[in-house]
Amino acid sequence: MEWYSGSINDAVKTSKVNKAIFVVFVAGKDEVSMEVAKVIDTPEISACLKTQDFVAIKLESGTEDYNFFAQIYQLVPVPSLFFIGLNGQPLEVVAGSVTVLNLKGKIDAVLTKVGKGKSNSSTSFINAEQSAASFSNVPQSSASSNDVVSTQSTSKTAENPSADIKPSSDDVKSEQAESVTSNADNNNQSNQQSSSDKVERARALIELQRKQQMELEREAEKRRELDRRDIGKHMQNARRRQQEMELAMAHEERMKEKALEREARERVIKQIAQDKLERKHREQALLQQANKSQSNQEQPQHAASAFVGDGVARIQFRLPSGNPHMGKFEANTTLRELRAYVSSNIDLPFRQFSMSMSFPRRDLTTEDDERTLLDLELVPTAVILILPSKNSGASTVAAAHGDSFWSRFMWALFAPIFTVYNYLAGYFTGGPRDSTNNQSNDSSASGGSQRSGAFGGNNAGPSSG
């Protein structure tokens, strides 16, 4: 098959100029395309497509011309054969495999649609039959006239044998006129018979052509219906494949989303576990730090308990005058015994007194008399302030008022220093510190007696006055 060698645009222009049917063969590289190409290459089909009624072009699937053609006609099966009219509408579409007879019938149906079918050929056939009949009637009429003349002449000679010898001119002329008249009548009759035969024959041919045309149209309608069904099936298959692809893509998208969600969930779980681990480490670090601080706090307590090991509490008494008095007591000594010791061993310028601690600030009341020094946290060392009680006499309080204020102030200032000093001295010196404390106690006792005499003189003065 010789296909159009130009581009598809040139082929369209050529078909419009020649008012021919535009034929497009879309071929692929599969076996069905090769079989359809072989059917087209047969002499019956190629001879039809080579005529001036067609402009045939071949398009390979995947080329630019094929893509351009597919943009115009949306559904282009491979292989397929398009018969396109002058208005651009497909007259016939042959999709898939086809036989020679089927394709020949489709080509005839397309030619019939555009008015180039067998109707013209039947008309020419009728004309040819009529001309042949006219030529055959002429020699028959001449032969019949000759026969009539010869029979008439022979009959006349048989009836009148003398006429053969001497025929007259009048008889000859009359016989010739009769023969001519009879020939004309015979010719007219034969012409009338031949014309009626021709009309009947033409009518029969026209009826036959009409029946053939109707049969062809029915077959073409059946083929078109089959083609429509095939195209519908192809479109349904294409839609089904597209839906399957869309479903597969949607399933893949869902799987990807689930994978991403699973990864995000795993990251969150890992982050939560990591946060828990970090929080646990922080809690352990805080617990260790608390244990360390507690152990550090327990170390001084252990050191203090080391001092309590000998069961002796060193108490320093601070008088309102600022003079200290040191004494040693058992850890189980009660506060009542401590008060009795102060009353019997320390000379005070007042009768009633109260005891208190400066650091931490706390008053030792009569409610604590039955408590031991260990319970009152006065072990191993402590500093106790001896202050006049509010119930003492007015003269005693008035005489000692100025001295009590300054003594309280000085004691609050130097009491912590003396406490630390005595603690360190007792820790490092141990026994030798006791003798010095006793000496200081003696000196403080003597100083206290002197001050008591002075206080007594002062008290005596105002009382006498």
Q: Residue 289 above 60 pLDDT? A: yes
- For 145-201, how does the pLDDT look when each residue is reduced to its tens digit (9 = 90+)? 444 444 444 444 344 444 343 444 555 455 555 555 566 566 666 666 677 777 777
Task: Please enumerate in sequence order all residues whose Cβ is within 8 A of that of 83, keeping only pairs 6 or more positions apart, or say none.
Answer: 21, 22, 23, 90, 91, 92, 93, 94, 106, 107, 110
DSSP string covering 51-106? STTEEEEEEETTSHHHHHHHHHSS---SSEEEEE-TTS-EEEEEES---HHHHHHH
Which run of H or E residues covers position 314? strand 312-318
- For 105-114, how does the pLDDT look when each residue is reduced to its tens digit (9 = 90+)? 989 988 888 8
User: Domain limits of the chain?
Assistant: 8-116, 311-458
The pTM for the full model equals 0.29
Q: Among all chains, which residue has been given the structure tokens 């008060």?
A: 339
Q: For the domain made up of 311-458, give the CATH fold.
A: Ubiquitin-like (UB roll) (3.10.20)
- For 387-405, how does the pLDDT look when each residue is reduced to its tens digit (9 = 90+)? 887 654 433 333 344 445 6
Which of 3.40.30.10, 3.40.190.10, 2.60.40.10, 3.30.750.24 is the CATH number of 8-116? 3.40.30.10
Q: What is the pLDDT of residue 253?
A: 93
